[in-house]
Structure 1
Amino acid sequence: MQKSVLVIGSLNLDLVIHAERIPLPGETVRGLGYEELLGGKGANQAVAAARLGASVRMGGRVGSDAYGHSLLDGLTAAGVNAAGVQVSEGPSGLAVITHAASGQNSIVVQPGANGAVTAADIVEMEFSGVGLVLLQLEIPMEAVCAAAKTARQAGVPVMLDPAPVQAFSNDLLQAVTWLTPNETEAAALTGGVFPPQETAEKLLAMGCRNVVLKLGECGAFLMGSDCEPVLVPSFAVKAVDTTAAGDCFNGAFAARLLAGDAPAEAARYANGAAAISVTRMGAQASMPSQDEVAELLENHR
């Protein structure tokens, strides 16, 4: 029986305002349009993995508002088992996103129900049959640490996306099989900007088993106990919205690791999935299908 991906993390409703550019501090710019889209780093990664063939379960919380219902419906429509998502009285998580014509974005997140996830919630989750646990930092650190500890005790590998970046203990990192920061997050964790291999070495010294540096258009750099140092190139595309590209990478990387791919092979696949995602608007709405990624990889053989 195929093992599943268990994603424990955030579910947000993304309120997206389109503008010619992201405003400077204190500046007001005129919006060019507005959308409400399904998001949240946890839910994004769950949807990405499910669309790419993985069996996926989601754990977390939504609010009792209409947004909560929409978020649950979105997971179910994507093929994610949302039985582990509880409903808290009050508002769901919200993300306010300014999307510039260049494809760049700025994001402010209001946790809502995501802030109510506790270590007790983790204890109630079922880890049997799970092949990989995906975590991010949009739920309380208490819950993240409890999830990593429980996964380690169950012998299940953990993938941690350290976003939004914040301080955490080495005890957490010692339970992490794959740490997947982008360049900004890696710089915050290591205290500076270094070449990819030096950055990876510094992160590995903190206790995690493997590192995947997500380098945007430069690709992904892998290093650790389970892979030799390697830079996996990205795919050249015209980006229209970079929202959730990193989430797409994580979901795709997890799906392919569980399918038996070697880490570098899984990273190439994940680069392809992320490349497709940035050519579309939205978070979950931008996640590609298996056929789309297969076609891109075949065309870039």
Structure 2
Amino acid sequence: MTLNGLMCIGEVMGELRRSAEGFALGFAGDTYNTAVYARRTTPQLRVDYATAIGEDPLSDGLLLAAKAEGIGTGLIHRTPERQIGLYSVTTDPKGERSFHYWRAASAARAMVPQVAASLAQSDHAILFLSGITLAILSPEDRATLIEALAAAPGRVAFDSNYRAALWEDVETAADCVAAIWRVTDIALPSLEDMQVLFGDDEGSALARLAAAGCRTGALKRGEAGPLALDGTAPGGCPPAPKVVDTTSAGDSFNGAYLATLLSGGTEQDALRAGHGMAAKVVQYPGAIIPAGV
């Protein structure tokens, strides 16, 4: 089997962004954001999104938005019993975010049977998910998804992306993240996540990932720039000249990083591409910035 392209797995929600004029509606979600920025980095790249959505008008809007970005929607399961979630986001003068969520009935919370079936038949080179993907699932579905990923032929890429409010407690989150590191090929955590989940500094975070068997990826450090998992820092990673909104900084890094790897770039190329995309995205409001900027 020839493997190609990227499958991103997770939840997409309607995004209500507050501005002086009121609220603007878009669609976002960490792994969906990664899919968008992967396609924008390499427009010819095959990128498919795997999730579950409803049959409501907002879900219809999401499909149109994904198709407009060139993202494959054939792995998106539709169910009449649920719908997509919704959240609002505001930013303070430093670009830090504040969220409110309406996602209890999100269809993505019940997506695992369909996603596991897609993984069993997948010919994608990279399978990407995040800590949020796992956090919205039941413990049983988390285990099922990790097993399906381990059995799939593609390389697993994982961003811990810890959100405390989605987990039962930090200990459960740390145990689950540690379990998926053991089947991960490409690790994309932030240093902040590793500190909160495991009490790690840079050295112990890199050692933890190496002990789990992760050999490729990045330890993301915000404006300080990423580290490769061998501890080296690529050149050419200056901080953003201004920060308007940090939403999707890590997600956009992931998209550009993975797209560059899939396009034949070196790991150093991928690190620089990821940092450059994140530095651009934080200069604009919203998770998905206007195309072409």
The change in CA–CA distance for 1:211 and 1:187 in structure 2 (over 3 A counts) is: farther
1:212 aligns to 2:210 (yes or no): no
The change in CA–CA distance for 1:205 and 1:32 in structure 2 (over 3 A counts) is: farther
Aligned to 1:59: 50
The change in CA–CA distance for 1:211 and 1:126 in structure 2 (over 3 A counts) is: same
Query: Which of 229, 234, 237 matches 2:231?
Result: 229
Shift of 1:75: 0.6
1:10 aligns to 2:11 (yes or no): yes
The change in CA–CA distance for 1:202 and 1:126 in structure 2 (over 3 A counts) is: closer
Aligned to 2:170: none
5+ long unaligned stretches in structure 1: 19-30, 293-301
Aligned to 1:157: 155
Tell me the secondary structure at the aligned position of residue 239 of structure 1. coil
Counterpart AA for 1:202: R
Aligned to 2:169: none
State the Cα RMSD in Å.
Answer: 2.4
1:134 aligns to 2:128 (yes or no): yes
Shift of 1:198: 3.0
Shift of 1:275: 1.1
Structure 1 Cα separation of the partners of residues 128 and 18 of structure 2:
29
Query: Which of 61, 65, 70 matches 1:79?
Result: 70
Aligned to 1:35: 24
Aligned to 2:184: 176
Aligned to 1:27: none
5+ long unaligned stretches in structure 2: 164-172
Aligned to 1:295: none
Q: State the Cα deviation string for residues 58-99 of structure 1 (Å, max 9, x = none).
A: 100122322211111111000000111112323312222121
Structure 2 Cα separation of the partners of residues 95 and 6 of structure 1:
24
Contact 1:17 1:35 in 2 (8 A): yes
Aligned residues: 271
Counterpart AA for 2:232: V
Fraction of identical pairs, as percent: 26
TM-score for both structures, normalised by structure 2 = 0.83
Shift of 1:36: 1.7
Structure 2 Cα separation of the partners of residues 241 and 161 of structure 1:
20
Aligned to 1:298: none
Counterpart AA for 1:9: G
Counterpart AA for 1:158: V
Alignment of 1:66-105 (within 5 A): 66-88=57-79, 89-105=81-97
Tell me the secondary structure at the aligned position of residue 122 of structure 1. helix
Counterpart AA for 1:244: S
Aligned to 2:280: 276
Structure number with the higher strand fraction is: 1
Q: State the Cα deviation string for residues 250-283 of structure 1 (Å, max 9, x = none).
A: 1111101111112121010111111111111211
